[in-house]
Structure 1
Amino acid sequence: MIPSSQDYVPGSQDFITPKEQQYETAPEALKAGHHHLRSPAQLSPNRIKRPRNVLGNTHSTSMEYTQSSQSFERSNMDPPSTSGCGAGEEYGGPRKLVRTRQPSPPCARNVFVDGPEDSSDISKFPRRPPFVSRYRAEYREMTLLGQGNFSKVFRVCSKFDGLEYAIKRSFRVVTSEVEAKQWQQEAMAMAAAGTHPNIVRYYSSWTEQQGDGQLFYILMEKCDESLGHKQTFGERSFKEAELVDILCQVAEALQHLHARGIVHMDVKPDNIYTTKQGIYKLGDFGLATCRSLQRNVALEEGDSRYIPLEVLNDNFNALDRADMFMLGASLYELAIGTQLPTGGDKYQEIRQGKLMLMPTFTSQFQKMVKSLMAPVPAERPTPARVLASALLTKRSAARDSSKENYGALPLQPSH
């Protein structure tokens, strides 16, 4: 029989509750007078399973299951019991241990190095907590070596080994995914280049979280000054013997890079550095890319004063020969003692192979510069042909000697 409306009292807004139970639901034990019986919800066991010891030692407790709030969450617990209970029974009520798994930080594959393909996004960087700064903790900032539109380069001293390094840091906090990929591509190219006496050595790179973005750092070898700085604030022009040394050593660097499938794409006096030992080093891999452009890499145009015509016309079939044009344009600028034009008729004449005469230089050197800046990429010599030319055969013995001396040097940079 359905009870009448007076037998109901208002409940929640979604249902009503009968005033008296219509059915007997008490268990038989309660009917028999056992009033101390608790509800089934309170009869759950008060001990938990211990973690299985995979080593077979049943008497030792595992240290993996700690009671730290970072690893477990405890729920449904009663206040601690004062009675002496064994392990796992020290609390009066049941407890639940939930183990949380911390994900591994993302790791990207170097696109300049052959290896198994993966689907990792190279824009995802392992992020450090904002209160941790490796730069401030491990290095003492000394002077500013230079800066551009996207980065600053500092001379630093390591607090660990006391040696001096150069650290390239992003000029501002990076929030763009495109800019983050460019930074990582630069670090990857330097790492894939390996160790070479005529390439600025790469040591490490990292990021530090700051606000909604990240600061990017690249730790590398400290050099003295660039040829561009030397030309601007020192010598206005260079002698042929010095330019031949520059040609030889930069060609060695480009041969090493091209053999590894890397093109620099920003060869210019500002990116060729000197050392106290008279060694020239190619640095600043901010525009470096893959030689074949068949991988997931970006291509950005560098300084227009040194870019060949085919790259300006979006012809990227011979990027290694574009590096050779930039090397020739750099030598040409250092020889004439004035900066190359950024546009106009003179700019077009240079890309057509019409160069100024250089009376103080030999015809052999002028012929080399003219061939490096040939309008047709196929007519430009490769680094191997440059090194085998008659212009450089006279100093081949000195070049081999410098290699042996470099191999005997320590790997860490000097003060």
Structure 2
Amino acid sequence: MIGQKVLGYRVEELIGRGSFATVYKVKKENESGTYVRALKRIIIPDEEQYRRIWNAMGHDKRKTDLYFQNVFEETMQEIQLMHAFTENGVKNVVACYENDVIRHMDPIQYEIYILMEYLTPLSDYICNHDLNVEELIDIGVQILDALEVCHANHIIHRDIKEANIFVTPNGIYKLGDFGVAAIQNEQRFVSSIKGTAGYMAPEVYHKSEKYDESVDLYSLGIVLYKLGNHMRSPFMPAYPQEFNSQDSRNALLKRMSEAPVPLPDAIPKNLGRVILKALETKKYRYCSAEKFKDELLKVKKSLSNEQLKKSLMKDKSGTTTSIDLDNSVPIKESNKRIKRWILALSVMGLLGIGVLTSVFISHKHSMELQQSWKKGSIVPFITISMEMTEKDFKNYYGKRFTEGIDGQYYLEMPDEEGGFATVTFSEGMLISVSYSFEKSEDQWKEICDDFYQKWMIEGDEWPYIAEKEEVRVVLDYDKPNKEASLFLKRIE
């Protein structure tokens, strides 16, 4: 792509890459001046992705093409949303200028080009910029301006985080990446799980109830909280204490239990209280983006110039907080390796064996099982350790494990049931696994009954719900669609 011309622009350099998309910096020069843009190139699917789904669909071309047609339609929704915002002059949403779609056949493939503003992600900006209190408030106000427009049009963004907020050269903050946005139904509620666990509202994470646009206010609250708390999420050890992945996991679980969140420690308390209201339970948080914005503006008006210009990246001694791109905070790994015995869920009945059981194994043993399964020596068998990290999944599942364009991860399942399990992480740690597939209700009930006997729990109707150690298992059946489902989630 480098050096090629697309939509009248010369491709200069690669600036980002995902499972389906690559993003390039592009430039055009003519008599009127020099123009720099970002070009997103999306290939749905590439050869490897098509082959993997084709195998999973039992070499059924129609089903495979339909799968990728659905992915394509979701991508078109993102383009249509961004174009609509641009054409209506929405200031705080990333502008989308042009697009082009090239359809290839036999096998089906969509080549999509989207020309957008060339901006800096907030996650990069804060690594090189000494953010202050006033800028934190401005970020909140301007992203809430964008959310007012989204919510007025019944659109929930569902993935607000630093990486999806962008900064212009003149300091304007914009919301981007609508790849997992949802359009609300007539009841103004949504029920599917999309987004990033570290920023999710509890009702989304728990799948406990349908949710509304207030989940976007919650996610923005997490962004602002982190900016005002030395880039540490709620319930993490106070800065400058060291922490590890166990602390990150515990903090997430405590937040999902809806425990009261402590004030962030790098900003004035009255500003902290405004942010905390966005992190309340659904019943008590802000009812609209406008209300949240009004409260931020009231606090801004009440603060002195000295308070507004106070750095967020310096502690009381004047030392600047360093930010690690992978973990968002400085981390010192412990020299001691703590040996833990962990709970692993061995899922066998899904593939015809009729057994769903749990065993205690060491992390090392879990990895050995993963290697054996990968080689096919104990197929059909899946062992998912709740101690596994995102890196572990990549190492032991290899090409079976991929990141989707919606920011979630997908694990290809063995051929008999086929399809993909959806896997979510927070700060690299495994949070949940969900998988749906076709099976008769009688077969699935037999498997679930066996599972309940192993766990010594009574259950006679859908959904089957069980908890053991730090894992919750939900087994359900969708009768109209004849679809069985399995959901595993980390709990306290």
1:328 aligns with 2:217: no
Is 1:151 paired with 2:21? yes
- Offset at residue 234 of structure 1 (A): 2.7
1:200 to 58, 82, 94: 94
Tell me the amino acid that sits aligned with residue 228 of structure 1.
Answer: S
Within 5 Å, give how 1:110-189 maps onto structure 2: 136=6, 138-158=8-28, 162-170=34-42, 173=45, 176-189=68-81
One-letter amino acid of the counterpart of residue 200, structure 2 = I
SS at match of 2:203: helix
Query: TM-score of the superposition, structure 1-length normalised?
Result: 0.56
- Equivalent in the alignment of 2:165: 272
The equivalent residue for 1:118 is none
Name the residue aligned to 1:348: 253
Q: Which residue number in structure 1 is paired with residue 291 of structure 2?
A: 385
Which runs of 5 or more residues in structure 2 are unaligned?
Answer: 51-67, 237-244, 303-492
**Match among 204, 218, 226 for residue 121 of structure 2:** 226
Other structure's SS at 1:144 match: strand
How far residue 328 of structure 1 moved from its aligned partner, in angstroms, is 0.2
Match of 2:274 among 368, 375, 384: 368
CA distance in 1, matches of 2:135, 2:259: 24
Query: C-alpha displacement at 1:381, in angstroms?
Result: 4.1
Most deviating of 134-143 and 186-195 = 134-143
Tell me which residue corresponds to 1:214.
110
Q: Taking structure 1 as reference, are residues 182 and 135 closer, same or farther at Cα in structure 2, changes over 3 Å only?
A: farther
Q: 1:359 aligns with which of 258, 265, 268?
A: 265
Listed one character per residue, the Cα deviations across residues 238-271 of structure 1 (whole Å, up to 9, x for unaligned) are: 4321111111111111011111221111111111
Higher strand share: 2
Q: Contact 2:157–2:181 (CA<8 Å) still a contact in 1?
A: yes
- Equivalent pairs counted in the alignment come to 259
**Structure-2 separation of matches of 1:135 and 1:292:** 41
Alpha carbons 2:100, 2:112 under 8 Å: kept: yes
SS at match of 2:102: strand
* Cα pair 1:173 1:210 within 8 Å, conserved: no
Q: CA RMSD of the aligned region, Å?
A: 3.0
Distance of 2:140 and 2:104 partners within structure 1: 42
Q: Conserved in 1, the CA contact under 8 Å of 2:98 and 2:116?
A: yes
Maintained 8 Å contact 1:272/1:283: yes
Task: For structure 1, list consecutive stretches of 5 or more residues without a partner in the other structure.
Answer: 1-133, 397-415
Native 8 Å contact 1:328 1:373 kept in 2: yes
Which of 133, 138, 141 is residue 240 of structure 1 equivalent to? 133
Letter in 2 for 1:140: R
Cα gap change, 1:286 to 1:137, in 2 (>3 Å):
closer
Question: In the alignment, residue 186 of structure 1 is paired with which amino acid?
Answer: E
In structure 2, relative to structure 1, the CA distance for the partners of 1:346 and 1:197 (3 Å cut) is: same
Q: Secondary structure at the match of 2:281?
A: coil
Letter in 2 for 1:336: N
1:217-239 Cα deviation digits (max 9, x unpaired): 2222222x1111223x335x743
Secondary structure (helix, strand or coil) at the match of 1:156 reads: strand
Instruction: Give the Å deviation of 1:390.
Output: 6.1
SS of aligned partner of 1:368: helix
Distance change in 2, residues 1:208/1:299 (3 Å): farther
Partner residue of 2:143 out of 230, 250, 259? 250
Distance of aligned partners of 1:318 and 1:259 in 2 relative to their CA distance in 1, 3 Å threshold:
same
3-state DSSP of counterpart to 1:180: helix
CA contact (8 A) 1:201 1:220 kept: yes
Structure of greater Rg: 1
**TM norm structure 2:** 0.48
Partners of 1:316 and 1:280 in 2: how far apart?
Answer: 32
The structure in which a higher percent of residues are helix is: 2
**Closer/same/farther in 2, CA of residues 151 and 241 from structure 1, 3 Å limit:** same
